[in-house]
Amino acid sequence: MNATPLAPRRALVSGASISGLTTACWLTRHGFEVTVVERAPHLRPGGHALDVRGPALEVAARMGVLTTLRDRSTKLTGISVVDAAGQEIFRSTESTLTGGRLDSPDVEILRDDLCDVLHGAVGPRVEYLFGDSIASLIQDASGVDVTFVTATPRRFDLVIGADGLGSAVRRIAFGPDEQFVRPFGDLYVATFGMPNFLGLERWQVMHQQPDTVGALVMGLRKDVDARTYLGFNAPEGIDQGSRDIDAQKRLLADRCAGAGWVIPEIVEHMLRATDFHFYSLSQVRMDRWSCGRVVLVGDAGYAVSLGTGQATSVAMVGAYVLAGELAAHKDDLVGGIASYEATLRAYVTRNQDIALEQNSRLDAPAGEGEAALTGSIPDFGALTLPFALETYEGVKRPR
């Protein structure tokens, strides 16, 4: 007698992020019914440049989007470092601050471009709840009852938190941020778009005042807004409890007061920016990424930080493994979640440890002149860890 086939499993993904969209894409391909809830009214604009490296390139290839990612990559040709008067004191046509070596096979792409490509790969079968978020989660042995801020309550077989460093799913299911988010270093950074008034074309310009304020402007085309990083060091730390964007902008403007180069003009554009994102160097460290049928992926569960250029790759690999293990355990989703954690834990932990090691090196006393500037340009490719990706297509295990 043939067994009754399982009804399609219903998954809720919180966050139309890199990890969220990658998870949604693979779950859909594995036959799940997927809903994505995103607090923003649409895919979020802006964000910094991201790097797709090593095993994440293979994930992108299996999704069928690697060629598109390369087509839409930043294609930067170099970086200049300038002094407070705007005079160039160093340049490189071999590496950039955000992408590392330019001869690398890896892909640097703006965050909103990557999300757009992944959204296209997800296809029309996924339901999106934009402009909404999860209000509560109540689970039992067979599913999770979810209430939303706006939408009517629903029941899902599992809930996936892919909602980033400040994950609401993590706070609801596991506890307050203070238990898991570990700031390291003293750097606070904002990213936003602004008019490309420097006329940059596939080029970066950076100015850094030692131990205080710095800015990096990335222009891909002269007729397109530049992507800008503006940040400051605060060894004493700051209170990041406020999510008030206006307050964050005022804080940044105050910290940058009196800075050289074109930073005053950058601040004026920052105050008007509609795609402003503010963050600190932080990791998320958790003993477990799941609580029953609620599971975290990407930065929500294991943010690596910017220090190694691996965060996006770890998130994409994590999403691929999570979706694959759930597909391999459709009759035991909790078991699939456990297999995901067991498969990925060592890879994630090593990436996080490397980030801490890199941060310690950056805290060491720097040299002087061009040697110090050259030493600040990273080689992210050298920090990329291998990971053997299982082929989950048509998988039927376990027996």
| pLDDT tens-digit series, residues 316-335 | 999 999 999 999 999 999 99
Mind giving me the DSSP string for 95-143? Answer: EETTTEETTSSSEEEEHHHHHHHHHHHH-TTSEEEET--EEEEEE-SS-
Q: Which CATH class is domain 7-75+106-180+285-393?
A: alpha beta
pTM: 0.93
Give pLDDT tens digits for 48-61.
Answer: 899 999 999 999 99
What is the rounded CA–CA span in Å between residue 23 and residue 343?
16
What is the rounded CA–CA span in Å between residue 174 and residue 393?
32
pLDDT band at 39 (very low <50, low <70, confident <90, very high): very high
Spatial neighbors of 219 by CB under 8 A, at least 6 apart, are: 196, 198, 199, 200, 201, 202, 203, 204, 226, 227
Distance of CA 254 to the CA centre of its chain: 27
Instruction: Give me the residue spans of the domains in the chain.
Output: 7-75+106-180+285-393, 184-282
Asked which of 188-197, 349-358, 373-382 is least confident by mean pLDDT, the reply is: 373-382
The CATH number that domain 184-282 falls under is 3.30.70
pLDDT band at 293 (very low <50, low <70, confident <90, very high): very high
Give pLDDT tens digits for 178-209.
Answer: 999 998 778 889 999 999 999 999 999 999 98
